Amino acid sequence: MKRILRLLFVILICWLEACKPVPVSHWFPVTPKEHYEKELLKNKLEKTIAGQTWFRVGEEVLSDSVFSVAPYQERFFLGDSIPAQAIKLKIPEGRRLIITPLREDTLSKLFVELYKVKGNGKTQRLDYLSENGQSLTYDNHEQDTLLLRLQTGLNENLAVTLTLATLPSLGFPVAGHSMSDVISYWGMERDAGARSHEGIDIRAKRGTPVISAQNGFVTQTGTNNLGGKVVFVSSMASPYSIYYAHLDSQLVSMGQRVVQGDTLGLVGNTGNAITTSPHLHFGIYARGSGAVNPLPFINDRKEKLPGLPEKSRWLGDTVTIKRKANLYTSAQFQDSGRIAALPANTSVRIIGEMGKGFRVQLRNGTKGYIPTVPLSEVKKDISELTKNQ
């Protein structure tokens, strides 16, 4: 009996080893990439060399350290041994990130997924591009380090132009006015240096409507010595409480629901602004951590994108650099992110290009950025050429 039980136990273990389950996402796919992976697994393509490379590289790039900041543009190469690429980035608190990938071959597949890099280095998916989607948006509330992964289909080569831009996450709080009306900024001295300005001031005529910068609820109205007549608006969708001060009058009550653009009150100079011309003091308070600079939240001045070369002459090719160049982790070529000094005639593979440089991969697999340098085709050794004849 014991022998039979042992035999049954061995059979069970062997059966479990032979039937190792694939990740849950492959049984219940959500993203376009997961649906595609399920089809690859169904056709046992993960057992091919190309399939193994596709799965392996897709996971490896989640640990990539190449870094950039928006606004930013890069043209990526995806294909053969590099079916996936990734980029880490941070955006200022209060900005809305707009991710727009444009593929040059619309018949090839493109999977785009946005991740948060947690404190332990693990990644947590935040969002993904739908099958027919044109862009992704992300509002930065926690100053997260983000990672964006781009991946093409199996046995496909693709050039993708990626544009990262930011927009204000809130509306401008004074009707008919703009950034040109900001007269006092975050951090300026107040009361002879005894305190600093925890907000910005926006000039406007007395009686100009002060409007809600976000959807939410009025959590407080009242009067205090500094702000005079004030209104606080909070939102369930963000961790911020918005503060409107020096109002001439308040036109909402506590608990009232408002949408972006609703009038909350009228511009005045109540409180400690009684000796100044009418203006709105606009402040933002993060729950649990105090005041934050409100300027990025409402700054709607148009960003200047760096642009890209018109032609992709070297994209995907292995070339030699004609003169020495530094290799950096960041597309901004910061000294603190310098990886190595590459001597002239170093062979690199061009896996991305920007207006003023290239993303490259070295023979040992290291990835990084180099500033624009003259390039030339790799000269093959004569013995290597005759070997294949």
Token pair of 115 as six digits = 């991740």
Model confidence over 177-204: pLDDT tens digits? 999 999 988 766 565 555 667 889 999 9
Claim to verify: residue 56 and residue 82 sit in the same structural domain? yes
pLDDT of residue 166: 95
- Residue 369 belongs to domain spanning: 318-384
User: Which residue, 168, 200, 217, sits at the end of a domain?
Assistant: 168
Contact between residue 218 and residue 232 where contact means Cβ atoms under 8 Å apart: yes
What does the alpha-carbon distance between residue 348 and residue 193 come to, in Å, rounded to a whole number? 54
User: Which residue, 263, 298, 333, sits at the end of a domain?
Assistant: 298
Q: What is the mean pLDDT of residues 239-255?
A: 96
Alpha helices in the chain (DSSP H): 2-18, 24-27, 32-42, 49-60, 295-298, 382-387
Q: 38, 92, 33, 84: which is closest to 63 by C-alpha?
A: 84
Residue 337 identity: G
What does the alpha-carbon distance between residue 194 and residue 284 come to, in Å, rounded to a whole number? 21
Query: Strand 84-90 and strand 67-69: pairing?
Result: parallel
Phi, psi at 12, each rounded to 5° = -65, -45
Residue 146 has pLDDT above 90, yes or no: yes
Claim to verify: residue 280 and residue 244 sit in the same structural domain? yes
**CATH number of the domain residue 352 falls in:** 2.30.30.40
What does the alpha-carbon distance between residue 79 and residue 152 come to, in Å, rounded to a whole number? 7
Claim to verify: residue 221 and residue 94 sit in the same structural domain? no
3-state secondary structure of 274: coil
What does the alpha-carbon distance between residue 195 and residue 160 come to, in Å, rounded to a whole number? 49
Model confidence over 199-228: pLDDT tens digits? 899 999 999 999 999 999 999 999 999 999
Contact between residue 100 and residue 195 where contact means Cβ atoms under 8 Å apart: no
Residue 7 forms part of a structural domain: no
Model confidence over 287-332: pLDDT tens digits? 877 899 999 999 999 998 888 988 778 999 999 999 999 999 998 8
User: Which residue, 264, 298, 332, sits at the end of a domain?
Assistant: 298
End-to-end CA distance of the chain: 66
Number of Cβ within a 10 Å radius of residue 194: 7
Claim to verify: residue 279 and residue 363 sit in the same structural domain? no
Q: Checking phi first, is residue 126 left (phi over 0); if not, alpha (psi -120 to 50) or beta?
A: alpha
CA angle 113, 114, 119 (to 5 degrees): 135
Claim to verify: residue 24 and residue 157 sit in the same structural domain? yes
CA angle 74, 76, 80 (to 5 degrees): 170
Alpha helices in 200-337 (DSSP H): 295-298
Residue 311 forms part of a structural domain: no
Residue 114 forms part of a structural domain: yes
Residue 99 has pLDDT above 60, yes or no: yes
Claim to verify: residue 107 and residue 189 sit in the same structural domain? no
Claim to verify: residue 59 and residue 156 sit in the same structural domain? yes
**CATH number of the domain residue 32 falls in:** 2.60.120.380
Residue 135 identity: S
3-state secondary structure of 198: coil
What does the alpha-carbon distance between residue 58 and residue 25 come to, in Å, rounded to a whole number? 15
Token pair of 241 as six digits = 């409480």
pLDDT of residue 126: 94
**CATH number of the domain residue 185 falls in:** 2.70.70.10
Claim to verify: residue 210 and residue 151 sit in the same structural domain? no
CA angle 13, 17, 19 (to 5 degrees): 115
Residue 312 forms part of a structural domain: no
Residue 280 has pLDDT above 90, yes or no: yes
Residue 31 forms part of a structural domain: yes
Residue 389 forms part of a structural domain: no
Claim to verify: residue 56 and residue 159 sit in the same structural domain? yes
Cis peptide before 71 (omega within 30 of 0): yes
Number of domains in the chain: 3
Q: 174, 167, 117, 189: which is closest to 300 by C-alpha?
A: 167
Claim to verify: residue 97 and residue 231 sit in the same structural domain? no
Claim to verify: residue 25 and residue 158 sit in the same structural domain? yes
Residue 91 forms part of a structural domain: yes
Model pTM?
0.84
Residue 293 forms part of a structural domain: yes
Claim to verify: residue 154 and residue 218 sit in the same structural domain? no
